[in-house]
Chains A and B, each alone.
Chain A
Amino acid sequence: MPPDARNHQISRRRFLGVAGAGLATLGAGNVLAACGGDSSSSTTATTVGGPLNVYTWEGYDLTKQNAAWRKAQGIEQKNLGFISIQDDVVTKLKSAAGGNIDISSANNSYAKLLYDAGLTSPVTVEEVPGLADMFGYFANTPLFKVEDGTYNAVPWTWGFVSVTGREGVPEIVDYHELLDPKLKGRVTTVDDAYNNITMSAIINEINPDTMTKAQLDGPVTEWLVKFKAQAKTLSASIGDQVNLLASGEVDYTLIGLYLIDVLAKDKGAVTKTYLPKQGGLGFCDAAIIPKDAPNRANAIAFASRLLEGKPAAAANESIYGATTAKSVVPLISPPVREMYPYSDVDGFIAGNLTFNAPYARESDGDKATYDDTIAAWERVKAS
């Protein structure tokens, strides 16, 4: 039975959250998301060349990086706007506009959700050879794997959410240190139910996949209430967090990521994202191909290039992300490459990160549901 739960696993792009439905791209032509789409020659499912309609996060479109390749293959890529929040993809795929999209993006929970809802088509190793080149965790996790050799998406970049501290403040070893009275008014987090609830679960050593309502309303919410009392404000976005850290208004953010370090550096400030002893919340973005994609062959070709070659490496570099494909690792420039433990990805993930599944939509015994998490966060905000 397809779990039609709604999930808020947030990738870093959620923070980038472009308001509205996205920005016009540079020189990629105007959007036409409605029915009536592109009536120029479409391809059959097997030949490459012709149009390719992309609806993904900014920076994931590889417009510049793949320019030469597209020219050689005769592909005309059209970016149908950019995703602002992951939920936009669900809405678009379910609406009339979805019929035009060839390739989009989903993270480690949405991928399975969309596949089980019949909105996306599976991808095999024969079509995208890079899938066989992935690190063990990504190759085997049921979040992406349908069966041997078949996946519900093409996972290509990953990372984690954990604490970020600004320059000059001591690194915390344990998240509980953030509740220290000394830090009152010196911390922040994003105003987001999923990340905070899941992080709190991880911090309190509760497995989010099996978290019960009692656990949610108990230790998870209580910890967050205490944290909120410490917080100076709830950030609206990643830019906001950078602003707060860089200006010295706060010392730590609970929901931090490497991208904050990138953006802070641009402003002449230094921040550091690292993993305290409870670890961090993992996220992995994957390319998905809608079931009725008109130009599937082009989509497949595009997806393949996410798991091999310099463009994939460049894309990961720009967001300080990690690649899921072994062959891409040496192509990433050293500073970014060294941020991730490529020598033992599986071990690192097992020991430090939690990539969790969606919260259930229907209540199943005493397990916490998605609605429960939303309500819990609202209670935290009202406290």
Chain B
Amino acid sequence: MSIGRRLEALLLGPVGLLLVATIVVPAGVLLAYSVYRYNGLTPESAFQLGNYQQVFSEGTYGTFAVNTLLIAVPTTIVSVAGGYLISYWLVYRAGATRNVVLALVVISMMASYLVRIYAWRTLMGEQGVVNSLLETVGVIDEPLGFLIFSRFAAVVAEVNYLLPFTALVAYASLANVAPELREAARDLGAGGWQSVRRVVLPLTGPAVLAASVLTFFLSCADYITPVLVGGTDATTFGTVISDQLRSTGNLPLGAALSFTMVAGYCIVALLFRGGMRATKVLPKEPDDAAS
């Protein structure tokens, strides 16, 4: 069925309108606010970069950014590694159980995010499941303090809900390249790590990149988990943005912080891509994958 111009406009219209109205325009408004002045009650129309200056000159925001990274980077690494392993198993080793495990993975994603966080307190608290178990067995004498209200806890909690995302992204990609891979692996007469590194990873490079970037973004953006289980050193950038906008009401500063965060995202995404290209996980050109 061919699509003429008018039909195309009709088809694209709703989605286009939605995106413009809910992303483009609000982002534009937010950008405008980021250069406004805040007078204590409402933003005042102005063009001044004072908010951005504040973001970059106040040492506190740098600390919050570092806190965010200290949680997001480990989370991303562990999630992507774990997700890749799961998807690899699903594609090559699962056999008949594939759909069941896949369903299990996906369903776990849909359990209540908030209730899960509080469950971590029960699990990792001083008198929680883990500590009680370890003490009963005799491995430790004193409860382990770092399990909860620490960056470790924030990472564990975030990995727990991000793992299914990465697994699914990796699965979608791995499932598509599987046939060629089998040929390649058989022809090479090799199995194991070499074939994974030389063949599988580059072929699924884009997926790994996508999964890594997605996980990193989601982890940075999580402003609820670090607050509830992260302890006192886990104030993240997202929390600060949320504070400025919800509690303080300082829209200009909150907006400036938000855009700074998105800019940071772009930089990180580019770095990721460069890093993956350098380690040959991601081929330089799309053609490399086929050769």
Contacts and interface: CB of A to CB of B under 8 A. Distances in A.
A and B touch in the complex (CB under 8 A): yes
B223 to A, nearest CB: 10
A374 interface: yes
A268 to B, nearest CB: 15
B202 interface: no
Contact of A233 (B59, B230, B248): B230
Interface string B230-250: 111001000110010011111
A233 B235 contact: no
B272 interface: no
B40 A6 contact: yes
B41 A379 contact: no
A361 B40 contact: yes
Contacts of B232: 228-229, 231-234, 381
B39 A233 contact: no
Contacts of A228: 232
Interface string A224-260: 0000110111101000100100011100000000000
B227 A236 contact: yes
B40 A4 contact: yes
B83 interface: no
A85 B247 contact: yes
B60 A379 contact: yes
A370 B40 contact: yes
A233 B60 contact: no
A375 B59 CA distance: 11
Contacts of A374: 248, 250
B41 A4 contact: yes
Contacts of B227: 191, 234, 236
B145 interface: yes
A379 B63 CA distance: 9
B40 A249 contact: no
A379 B121 CA distance: 27
- Interface size range of chain B in the complex: 20 to 34
B149 A243 contact: no
A87 B249 contact: yes
Given A94-B42, A248-B127, A6 B249 contact: yes
A163 to B, nearest CB: 18
Contacts of B229: 233
A6 B149 contact: no
Nearest to B250: A374
B231 A232 contact: yes
Interface string A2-24: 00111010000000000000000
Contact of A381 (B228, B235, B248): B235
A382 B235 contact: yes
Interface in B239-275: 239-240, 243, 246-250
Given A4-B39, A87-B249, A232-B149, A249 B59 contact: no
A234 B233 CA distance: 10
B41 A90 contact: yes
Contacts of A90: 41
B58 A375 contact: yes
A382 B125 contact: no
Interface in B198-241: 227-232, 235, 239-240
A160 B117 CA distance: 31
B64 interface: yes
Given A4-B39, A185-B145, A234-B227, A382 B64 contact: yes
Given A6-B41, A247-B127, A381 B121 contact: no
Interface in A80-109: 85, 87, 90-91, 94
A87 B145 contact: no
B39 A361 contact: yes
Contacts of A234: 227, 232, 235
Nearest to A229: B232
A-B pairs with the 6 shortest C-beta distances? A361-B40, A382-B63, A382-B60, A233-B149, A378-B60, A381-B235
